[in-house]
Amino acid sequence: MVGLGPKRKPSRKGSMADMPGSMVEEIKRLEQLFTVDTKKLKAITEHFISELDKGLSKEGGSIPMNPTWCMGFPTGYETGTFLALDMGGTNLRVCEINLPEEKGEFDIIQSKYRMPEELKTGNADELWGYVADCLQQFIEYHHEGEKLDKLPLGFTFSYPATQEYIDHGVLQRWTKGFDIDGVEGKDVVPPFEAALEERGVPIKLTALINDTTGTLIASAYTDSEMKIGCIFGTGCNAAYMETCGNVGKLAHMNLDPDAEIAINCEWGAFDNEHKILPRTPYDVIIDKDSPRPGQQAFEKMIAGLYLGELFRLVLVDLHEQGHVKMFEGQDISALKKPYSLDASFLSQVEEDAFENLAQTHDLFEKELNITPKRPELELIRRLAELIGTRSARLSACGVAAICKKKGYKTAHVGADGSVFNKYPHFKVRGAQALKEILDWESGRDGKPLKEGTYPVEIMPAEDGSGVGAALIAALTLKRVQEGNTVGIKDWEGMLKGTKAAKGDNKQFGGK
């Protein structure tokens, strides 16, 4: 067996010695295009703060800043049994979450059901009927022969929707491959509840939530320092707690100005006006060729869905520029297919630990039928680093903007999503950018900065679409019992048939 050479150090600068001059120039050009320096990070963050404020105002802005009607953080002492339903593009997940008396603890049982492809383009009755059938199956399996009170349900509905109430929501548009007629522009809750009623399933929908809000609440339940929930995955988003007095668009409701309400930012839409983000010609192409040009400007520069496409567009461009001689004389037809590379392709390039980049060489041969030469491999590696680093650094601007807006000197940020969890060096690069934007000189303990002492730390979140949804159902019931029914449409029906209706405080606790 031929040795593949010594293990290389991660993220080391490639050897430029054997590189053709045109390729060295190209790498320099790409470094200029994709590098975001400290000054630019700070400028983006300041603009981000003003756009968050604009989104909260009566006039509104590009960032929707949706009030979620989840009012305040959990105490950690919530108790009771709650269901959570998470309707994704490929699976339906049903969880039963028991919150015991111990602070911040939970027990969970869950089942997954496949979302049949034909349902995604079928009709609404079939969809809600299938969802209700899965819930019925879950309850029959886990509570066979038991006489149940109605179980409160938190439904994670991660599709663009507007919510005037926590227990109702109007679908704006389908995503994730769904295209069912007669649902867009309508409240999704009545047909869903009708399907449950028809089957006699003992469940009461208590909260309709977005997964990002769930991430915030689930993480705060187990860690009281959690202030922000983020998703860095195929898409991107954040949620945080705002005081009602700062939400101009709710001023007409005369809410207690000090009361807290979770805001689902939907910050992928930041800078749709293209005032501040450092777009490259490749970012412009991605936007122009996307299904919704001019929208989700921030998301298109940082989210997993687009990282591989950026990488692909640059490589095709270099091949077509004759003077660079990239993949010269090779058939690049596989590389020319839009969206054929995803973020995991870049991950594999960045994870290649061999000095001669043998894994990257094999990856290009296997997936794209291209045999790259050594200098080309060095450029490929540098390009992946540049795109991955830019994503992490721009992502940090949103986190820093919320921290500065809220005056958080220290905070934990709960993050989820495939890019955060799996992309190499994403966390370290994001932390470095936060350090630059927020001018940290020492850790939260006053000693030199090191991981674990950063004033603002982005860490893995708790399960937002399961535990988070159940907790928001618990908090909503608790509010109803306390007589605080703002933002709840069917508050009378919410208690009917549940343990809470019998005055059983154990159902949602709250010391």
Name the residue ranges covered by the structural domains of the chain: 16-66+223-461, 80-209+465-495
* Residue 506 pLDDT greater than 70, yes or no: no
| Residue 378 burial (10 A CB sphere; 0-12, 13-18, 19+) | buried
Q: State the pLDDT confidence band at 63, using cuts at 50, 70 and 90.
A: very high
d(CA 273, CA 440): 31
Overall size of the chain counted in residues: 511
Q: State the pLDDT confidence band at 386, using cuts at 50, 70 and 90.
A: very high
Angle between helices 374-406 and 304-320 (to 10 degrees): 140
Answer for the pair 151, 473: CB distance below 8 angstroms, yes or no: no
Taking the alpha carbons of 432, 437, 442, 444 in that order, is the dihedral positive or negative?
Answer: negative
Render pLDDT for 226-238 as a digit per residue (tens, 0 to 9).
999 999 998 899 9
- What does pTM read for this prediction? 0.91
pLDDT of residue 451: 76
In sequence order, which residues have a C-beta less than 8 Å from that of residue 69 and are 6 or more positions away? 163, 165, 166, 261, 476, 486, 487, 488
Q: Which whole number is the average pLDDT over 404-424?
A: 96
Query: Is there a shared CATH topology between the 16-66+223-461 domain and the 80-209+465-495 domain?
Result: no
* Residue 508 pLDDT greater than 80, yes or no: no
Answer for the pair 462, 221: CB distance below 8 angstroms, yes or no: yes
* Residue 178 pLDDT greater than 80, yes or no: yes
The CATH fold assigned to 16-66+223-461 is Hexokinase; domain 1 (3.40.367)
Average pLDDT of the chain to the nearest whole number: 91
pLDDT of residue 146: 85
Indicate the helix (H) or strand (E) that contains 255.
none
Render pLDDT for 275-331 as a digit per residue (tens, 0 to 9).
999 999 999 999 999 988 999 999 999 999 899 999 999 999 999 987 888 999 999
Structure tokens at 249: 């668009």
Q: State the pLDDT confidence band at 74, using cuts at 50, 70 and 90.
A: very high
Q: Find the angle CA(204)-CA(208)-CA(212) to the nearest 5 degrees.
A: 140
Decide which of 2 and 162 is more confident. 162
pLDDT of residue 16: 57
pLDDT of residue 510: 46
- How many Cα atoms sit within 13 Å of 1 on the Cβ side? 3
Longest dimension (CA), the chain: 79
What's the one-letter identity of residue 390?
A: R
Render pLDDT for 248-275 as a digit per residue (tens, 0 to 9).
999 999 999 999 999 999 999 999 999 9
* Residue 465 pLDDT greater than 70, yes or no: yes
Render pLDDT for 326-383 as a digit per residue (tens, 0 to 9).
999 999 999 999 999 999 999 999 999 999 999 999 999 999 999 999 999 999 999 9
- Taking the domain 80-209+465-495, which CATH number applies? 3.30.420.40
d(CA 257, CA 447): 38
Answer for the pair 388, 11: CB distance below 8 angstroms, yes or no: no
Closest CA to 217 of 404, 395, 474: 474
pLDDT of residue 92: 93
Closest CA to 476 of 120, 250, 163, 112: 163
The residues annotated with a catalytic role in the active site are 158, 173, 211
Q: State the pLDDT confidence band at 501, using cuts at 50, 70 and 90.
A: low
pLDDT of residue 169: 93
pLDDT of residue 504: 57
Q: 80: phi > 0 → left, psi -120 to 50 → alpha, else beta; which?
A: left
pLDDT of residue 444: 84
Taking the alpha carbons of 78, 80, 81, 83 in that order, is the dihedral positive or negative?
Answer: negative
Percent of the chain at pLDDT exceeding 90: 76
Q: State the pLDDT confidence band at 98, using cuts at 50, 70 and 90.
A: very high
Decide which of 13 and 458 is more confident. 458
Decide which of 448 and 93 is more confident. 93
d(CA 398, CA 266): 11
